């Protein structure tokens, strides 16, 4: 690709925009964004956001492609608009001529994807699961309870749940194993139980609707190994679940405290060295600084990250999108018409007995500065 340093037009005080001036301009924009978005971000986040704007004019698609916290992204868009680098019109976001010149002088290319169409980039083909598992799961999912904001719920597509189960099965984490699912609006427990692979699947969730639903599925489908019981993640893990499972699965809330609550319970619930855990983590609500904080926490807790599958988890847009925190930040208030919220699937494995405490968490563990969907 030709790296353009060509001056497209004169900007500012009649001076041509050059790469050094473009970098200076971006640094100034980012300094001013810092006052609106008190979270960690770097110039690389801005480059990703600009790359997304070079490849789409659809706001929700730009959110997805930017792979940066929405808190930063919306503040960045707003500054670009103020400086006439971005135009928001007819429900679309488009870089102006000056915005394109800035991107060009920063040598930013449009966001480009090379993911596989047949597995939607997951690297796992859920259709390898027995056909009756896939069909029964789709049928059962039709009766699921709707996602509730009060519990920070938001479930993934049926394909995602099936792929997650196929992935765990392929990694040897389900067959003959005792599984703990911590919070299960994704119905991973149901898909896992339908394979007949695990010897036990226990769901713990705060939502009575889900517990009733999963118990009813277990009864109707004759899934004796599938159980569900109520549990508030803020409470210490009950003694009878400690060290009793081989694998845990969860999709934590993304505040650091909320994340720790889920993972600490999971690590305490599994048997120890060799036990595995699964969780999701987004870019929309977690900066790379938070990713680093989480990775440090995992290593210090005795776990190693064995897999990270970017964009593995695709979420069905929840009913409460207009009341989520990020709604007020958006330049265009339209509901998304396709999945836009994705998370990476992480698999971890314990290398030594977990060094975490069975502590009690107080108050609202869902929100932090980077939270967008609570």
Interacting residues toward Fe ion by CB under 5 A? 116, 119
Minimum Å gap between C-beta 119 and Fe ion is 3
Pick from 55, 88, 95, 94: nearest CA to 331: 88
Minimum Å gap between C-beta 122 and Fe ion is 7
Q: What are phi and psi of 347, to 5 degrees?
A: -120, 135
- Cβ contact 281:317 at 8 Å: no
Q: Report the C-alpha gap between 119 and 123 in whole angstroms.
A: 6
Q: Report the C-alpha gap between 131 and 111 in whole angstroms.
A: 36
- Cβ contact 15:91 at 8 Å: no
Strand pairing of 200-205 and 226-230? parallel
Q: Which is nearer to Fe ion, 114 or 220 (CB)?
A: 114
Q: Which is nearer to Fe ion, 35 or 118 (CB)?
A: 118
Pick from 139, 183, 143, 186: nearest CA to 164: 186
Q: Across 128-199, where does the E strand assignment appear?
A: 178-182
Q: Which is nearer to Fe ion, 120 or 368 (CB)?
A: 120
Minimum Å gap between C-beta 47 and Fe ion is 27
Q: Which is nearer to Fe ion, 88 or 119 (CB)?
A: 119
Minimum Å gap between C-beta 129 and Fe ion is 15
Q: Which is nearer to Fe ion, 120 or 264 (CB)?
A: 120
Minimum Å gap between C-beta 325 and Fe ion is 34
Q: Which is nearer to Fe ion, 116 or 150 (CB)?
A: 116
Minimum Å gap between C-beta 123 and Fe ion is 6
Strand pairing of 247-250 and 178-182? parallel
């Amino acid at each position: 690709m030709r790296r353009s340093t060509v001056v497209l037009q004169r900007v500012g005080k009649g001076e041509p925009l050059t790469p050094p001036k473009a970098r200076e301009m971006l640094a100034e924009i980012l300094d001013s964004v810092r006052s609106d978005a008190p979270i960690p971000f770097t110039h690389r986040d801005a480059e990703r956001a600009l790359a997304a704007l070079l490849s789409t004019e659809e706001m929700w698609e730009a959110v997805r492609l930017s792979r940066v916290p929405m808190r930063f992204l919306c503040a960045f868009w707003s500054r670009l608009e103020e400086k006439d680098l971005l135009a928001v019109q007819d429900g679309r976001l488009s870089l102006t001529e000056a915005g394109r010149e800035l991107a060009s002088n920063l040598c930013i290319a449009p966001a480009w994807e090379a993911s596989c169409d047949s597995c939607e980039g997951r690297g796992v083909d859920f259709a390898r699961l027995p056909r009756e598992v896939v069909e029964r799961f789709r049928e059962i999912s039709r009766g699921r309870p709707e996602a509730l904001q009060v519990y920070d719920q938001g479930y993934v597509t049926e394909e995602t749940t099936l792929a997650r189960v196929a992935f765990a099965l392929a990694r040897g984490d389900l067959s003959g194993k005792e599984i703990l699912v911590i919070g299960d609006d994704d119905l991973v427990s149901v898909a896992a139980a339908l394979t007949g692979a695990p010897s036990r699947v226990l769901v713990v969730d705060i939502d009575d609707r889900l517990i009733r639903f999963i118990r009813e599925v277990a009864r109707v489908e004759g899934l004796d190994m599938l159980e569900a019981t109520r549990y508030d993640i803020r409470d210490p893990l009950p003694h009878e679940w400690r060290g009793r499972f081989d694998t845990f699965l969860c999709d934590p809330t993304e505040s650091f405290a909320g994340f720790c609550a889920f993972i600490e319970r999971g690590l305490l619930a599994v048997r120890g060295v060799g036990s595995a855990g699964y969780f999701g983590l987004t870019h929309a609500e977690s900066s790379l600084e938070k990713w680093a904080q989480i990775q440090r926490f995992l290593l210090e807790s005795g776990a190693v990250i064995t897999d990270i599958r970017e964009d593995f988890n695709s979420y069905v847009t929840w009913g409460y999108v207009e009341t989520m925190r990020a709604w007020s930040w958006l330049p265009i208030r339209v509901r998304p018409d396709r999945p836009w919220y994705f998370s990476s699937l992480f698999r971890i494995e314990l290398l030594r007995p977990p060094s975490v405490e069975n502590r009690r968490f107080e108050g609202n563990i869902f929100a932090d500065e980077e939270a967008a969907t609570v």
